[in-house]
Amino acid sequence: MPRKAQKLGDGHMEELRDSFGAYYLASNPDFEYVSYQQERMVPALEAVDSGDIPRLMLLIPPGHSKSQLVSIDFASWRMGRAPKKNLLGLSYSADLSKDFGRAVRNRLKSPLHAEVFPKSQLSLDSRSNVRFRTISGGNYFAVGFSGTVFGRRADGIIIDDPLKNQKEARSRSEERFKFYKGVVKSRLRPGGFIIACTTRLCVGDWVNRVLDDEGDVKEGGQWTVLKIPAEENGHYLWEEFYGRQYYDQAKKDSQSWAAIYMQDPSSGFAGPWYASSPLPRYTEVLKPGRLPAYMIVDPGLSKSRGADPTSVMVLCANPDKKLLLADWTLDHMDPDERTQEIIRLIKRWSIKRLVYEEYGLNADTFHLEKAFRKAGISIRPIPVGRRGARHNLSKDDRLRGLIIDFKDGKFIFPEKMPRRLLSGETVDLMEYFENEEYMLFCGEGSVLHDEGLDCLSRTHDPEMAITYPEAPGSETEEDDDYGTAKGNVGWEAVYTWLPLLCLGGWLMQGAL
């Protein structure tokens, strides 16, 4: 059992001023000495105070006193140590930041704090919980993410949980990262520090994005990362408080355990599903109209850069019963932009069948019907996802069905697919798909976006009703609806100019 906190407040003012660990225990007389707090977290925070660590990222499971230790007690101790400096506290919501501000304000009002740090007592006019100051002129600001931080210059910034939960992490991480990078960091004065104390939530969360951009000091980056997992060397982190059963129960959800408790989201998966099978490629020019084309639309619900993008994919069926990725739009679009892009691709590829994720079709129907009617398009989108034979399948189950497809080489991809996005950025969608989805995917939540894989999984839905054309020159068909050539040639002749180019080369050689 941990030993009781010592009564360090009696006659040990100098020790409380110099030691955050002592101040923490003295300010919370009911707390017990907890080894990971006093021996790992406290030294790191004291190094921030001394200037040895300008950026500290503290990753720890929820409910393990990070907010009490960092956002309340360290913030109070720091204001005592630097009563003329400004401190900014941020969290995912203004209400939570306000709660931390109230706790810090109450701590500064306490008799013990006033005795240890007489110069950091509250100014008489400090009544707010979101902004108050010391008698020496230092200020504390409590702000929620996306709140008003302009005009608040800080010598230290404490970010406590920039995202509320996994749902927010999957939809708002990019938005919160941009706010941090473009707004929050601009409020920091030269020589100031930033502490981020939080819990990992998923692959691609706020922590992921910050470290990808600014780096770990171990790799030449900016952040000192202190990762404290729930289990190390067979021992649970705070078993004396929670009990072993608490952790054993949490471990039953392997993905949640890996991310939230062990601070390593990617370890909760069994490894990439598809990477062992190389992507088959075609290098010829795919000519529209020569093969039946099918369209799959997975609409994004917001144009925000942090939201999932819209995916509009065109696949062509060939006589070898393969599906060729003919075209693909992956971008953040509003409904009108999405509708116009769908119309463009329908006209270009003479789409035979269009399936549309139903959750988005309900919102887009008005735009689609009006625009299709004006463009003279008779094809109608077929909803998928909320009914039918496969509607009860989870995304994992749907995407697991692609494993055998990739092993069998069912899908064939172009070498490159450069696209200019509405933002002006140019990306190669084949490079993106291979490196960001195909090579990494190992279960739902294992990659930031999986729109390409999700669209491909819809080829198993009966609503797609994919039919494959007969091979050119077959005995059952003299000529088909897709302009097939007669004679005993391969399917490439159906959809490329390659045979004509080869013939031209032979003729030229003969002429020479």
Q: What is the pLDDT of residue 149?
A: 67
Which of 237-246, 252-261, 283-292 reaches the highest mean pLDDT? 237-246
pLDDT value at position 388? Answer: 66
* Alpha-carbon span 111 to 114, nearest angstrom: 5
Residue 4 has pLDDT above 50, yes or no: no
Q: Over the range 163-191, which residues count as b (16 or more CB within 10 Å of their CB) and which as e?
A: beebebbbbbbbbbbebbeeebeebbeee
Strand partners, 509: none
Other CB atoms within 10 A of residue 255 CB: 19
pLDDT at 472: 62
What is the pLDDT, as a whole number, of residue 497? 35
| Cα angle, residue 186 at apex, residues 180 and 192 outer, rounded to 5° | 100
Percent helix, strand and coil across the chain, each to the nearest 5 = 40, 20, 40
Cα end-to-end distance, the chain, whole Å: 94
Per-residue pLDDT at 7 exceeds 70: no
Residue ranges of the chain that CATH labels 3.40.50.300: 13-228
CA-wise closest residue to 200 among 229, 220, 223, 224: 229
Query: Residue 498: is its pLDDT beyond 80?
Result: no
Q: What is the DSSP string of 136-197?
A: TS-EEEEEETTS--TT--EEEEEEE-SSSSHHHHHHHHHHHHHHIIIIIGGGEEEEEEEEEE
Class of CATH domain 281-464: alpha beta
DSSP annotation of 460: G
Mean pLDDT on 455-462? 95
Mean pLDDT score, 455-471: 93
Residue from 388, 359, 395 nearest 463 by CA = 388
3-class DSSP state of 225: strand
87 strand-pairing partners: 140, 156
Summarised one tens digit per residue, pLDDT across range 92-102 is: 999 999 999 99
- The predicted pLDDT at position 442 comes to 86
Work out the pLDDT band at 487, boundaries 50, 70, 90: very low
Which pLDDT score is estimated for 152? 77
Average pLDDT, the chain: 86
- The confidence band for 305, taking pLDDT boundaries of 50, 70 and 90, is low
- In one-letter notation, the amino acid at residue 105 is R
Q: In the structure encoding, which two tokens stand for residue 1, read together?
A: 């059992």
Is residue 36 within 8 A of residue 238, CB to CB? The reply is: yes
- DSSP symbols for 394-425: -HHHHHHTHHHHHHHT-EEEES--EEE-TTS-
Bigger pLDDT: 181 vs 499:
181
Chain center to CA of 503: 50
Of the given ranges (14-18, 265-269, 282-286, 315-319), which has the lowest mean pLDDT?
265-269
In sequence order, the 6+-apart residues with CB closer than 8 A to the CB of 511 are none
Query: CA 479 to CA 489: how far, in whole Å?
Result: 13
* pLDDT above 90 (res 141): yes
- Tens of pLDDT, residue by residue over 38-68, are 999 999 999 999 999 999 999 999 999 999 9
Residue 478: pLDDT over 80:
no
Given this model, what pLDDT does residue 173 score?
Answer: 86
In tens, the pLDDT along 439-454 reads 989 887 788 889 999 9
- In total, the chain counts a number of residues equal to 512
CA–CA distance from 36 to each of 217, 226, 350, 432, 447 (Å)? 22, 11, 64, 41, 31
pLDDT at 190 > cutoff 90 = yes
**Model pLDDT, residue 271:** 77
Domain 13-228 has CATH 3.90.650.10: no
Predicted confidence (pLDDT) per residue in 375-391, tens digit: 999 999 999 987 766 77
What pLDDT score was predicted for residue 509? Answer: 35
Question: Of 301, 397, 299, nearest to 356 (Cα)?
Answer: 299
pLDDT band at 151 (very low <50, low <70, confident <90, very high): low
Once rounded to an integer, what is the mean pLDDT over residues 158-170? 90
Domain with CATH 3.30.420 in the chain: 281-464
User: Long-range contact list for 398-404, CB < 8 A, 24+ apart?
Assistant: 398/454, 398/457, 398/458, 398/460, 399/273, 399/441, 399/444, 399/450, 399/453, 399/454, 399/457, 400/273, 401/457, 401/460, 402/273, 402/274, 402/453, 402/456, 402/457, 403/273, 403/274
The answer on pLDDT for 366 being more than 90 is no
Nearest residue to 3 via CA among 35, 26, 43: 35
Q: What is the pLDDT of residues 342-359, one digit of tens each?
A: 999 999 999 999 999 998
pLDDT score, position 61: 97
